[in-house]
Amino acid sequence: IGDVGWNDLEELQTKAEEPCPTMRSVGYVIHHSESHIALISSIGPEECGSLEKIPAEFLREVTYLRGNQDG
């Protein structure tokens, strides 16, 4: 929220009081524990995309989607 450089204090104070949005993440689960879930954006035989770690306290729901490895 806000831009690089100087921002209007009153505007950002108003934004700070707003509730956080509900976000949705989609990815390949490579770790899920009581403390957090770890997702990667894409996966190959020996490489993968970016890693996203989400604290368990932030999770509202986890839905596992399954498919075949070929497509």
Write the pLDDT tens digit of every residue in 27-69: 999 999 999 999 999 999 999 999 999 999 999 999 999 866 5
Instruction: Give the residue with greater pLDDT, 39 vs 4.
Output: 39
Q: Specify the amino acid at residue 9.
A: L
Asked if residue 54 lies in contact with residue 27, where contact means CB atoms within 8 angstroms, the answer is no
Predicted TM-score (pTM) of this structure = 0.72
The residues facing 36 across adjacent strands are 55
Q: Where are the domains of the chain?
A: 23-58
Instruction: Round to whole Å and give the CA distance between 25 and 2.
Output: 23
Question: Where residue 4 falls among pLDDT bands split at 50, 70, 90?
Answer: confident
